[in-house]
Amino acid sequence: MGVAGKHFPSHANESSDAAKAAAPGAQPSDERVRKESRFGHLLGRPEFAAISGTVLVFIVFAIGAGDSGMFNLDGVMNWSQVSAYLGILAIGACLLMIAGEFDLSIGSMIGFAGMMVAIPTMYFHWPISVSILFAFIGSMLIGALNGYLVMRTRLPSFIVTLAFMFILRGLTLALSIMVADRTIISGVGDVAAADPLSKFLFQGVAFHDLFRWLAHVGIGKMLDNGHPLVPGIPKVLLWWFAMAAVGAFVLAKTRYGNWILAVGGDANAAKNVGVPVRRVKIWLFVLTAFCSCLFAVLQVCDIGSAAADRGLQKEFEAIIAAVIGGTLLTGGYGSVVGASFGALIFGVVQIGITYTNISSDWFRVFLGVMLLFAVLFNHYVRRRVAQS
């Protein structure tokens, strides 16, 4: 009787649990499922800090330089064009960093690729479209060589690409002096303007008629000669938007994007489950070289000249933009959207300072502070993600 009595509560509890489980709308508890607030979810997004920082920067400059013309149409084009050039580099640097590697030859590749466009065009009389194709092929082959050496030798990519940073800068100076007897080659812009393909892809602006209409209705300024002050959207902005959209889609929605995240998180584990680690990383080095060459081609066609010292410190600026955008220096975590917002912050601050009474000497200080805060925030997010 006593023994049976001891079992009655157990059966009653089991019946009660069964009734709860069978009750309509009842949700079984699972210790593996953790509820997360909406803010907590946003905080875990890699681009959250960059978007927040962008909003803060815009608020600061709206207060400090709101009536200076910074946010007029011509002012917007000024800082957005600076952001776009860096944004193109930041996309390639971001994806490579997510995969756990660095490319310090980005800046030197810009000067070298510019000379690969200018020297054959101006001194060997190649069609500029052929010179541009030659520059892209040459740059991407050097990127592939970078990646191959990193994968083959297993040396840190920091060391290999640092060597190529000096090699390419030295080659750019030596070849320009040897062929042209100067370090700046001018006249390329006029040749590009005469080539329909180069002009369509890399030179000038788009949507000229739209901006003419905007000036007529008073949204933009009209010059005395009847032309709008802002003739259109620079081609570099269109390239930036297109590459950011493609990069974000690939990283978030494709198998290749999963591979990039996997090889950056744990290359050995990714290799064990069939991810082609070596191929993924080599192609990402090719991508960074492509981005550097695209930067150079757009700059040469827009400015009209190539210079051996172009691209100085651009590798560091691209890495800073990627880190501000939420990319971890250790790999495996990051966002193309965040890197693009990091580049936007860079452009807004660099040009925005000129619209204020603040000395431009403080720009580098601000950039360093932003980098420090971004690294600290990313470290916090990584610990939070690891503990969840």
Residue 18 banded pLDDT, cuts 50, 70, 90: very low
Give 270-280 pLDDT, tens digit per residue.
Answer: 999 999 999 99
- pTM of the shown model: 0.87
Question: Pairing between strand 184-186 and 305-307?
Answer: antiparallel
Distance CA 79, CA 385 (A): 34
Distance of CA 240 to the CA centre of its chain: 9
Q: Do residues 321 and 342 make contact, with C-beta atoms less than 8 angstroms apart?
A: yes
Instruction: Determine the pLDDT at residue 50.
Output: 83
Judged by DSSP in three states, 257 sits in helix
Does the CA dihedral 359-362-367-373 come out positive or negative?
A: negative
Number of Cβ atoms within 10 Å of the Cβ of 83: 27
Type of residue found at 204: G
Give 153-188 pLDDT, tens digit per residue.
Answer: 999 999 999 999 999 999 999 999 999 999 999 999
| Percentage of the chain lying above the pLDDT 90 cut | 59
Give 69-127 pLDDT, tens digit per residue.
Answer: 888 888 899 999 999 999 999 999 999 999 999 999 999 999 999 999 999 999 999 99
Q: Does 202 have pLDDT greater than 60?
A: yes
Which residue has tokens 């974000």? 248
DSSP, res 374: H
How many residues comprise the chain? 388
For the record, the structure tokens of 276 come out as 């082609």
Greatest CA span in the chain, whole angstroms?
109
Give 349-364 pLDDT, tens digit per residue.
Answer: 888 888 887 777 787 7
Burial of 71 from C-beta contacts in 10 A (0-12 / 13-18 / 19+): middle
Q: Where are any strands of DSSP class E within the chain? A: 184-186, 205-206, 233-234, 305-307
Burial of 356 from C-beta contacts in 10 A (0-12 / 13-18 / 19+): middle
Instruction: Determine the pLDDT at residue 326.
Output: 86
Number of Cβ atoms within 10 Å of the Cβ of 12: 10
Q: Does 221 have pLDDT greater than 90?
A: no
For the record, the structure tokens of 95 come out as 């994806």
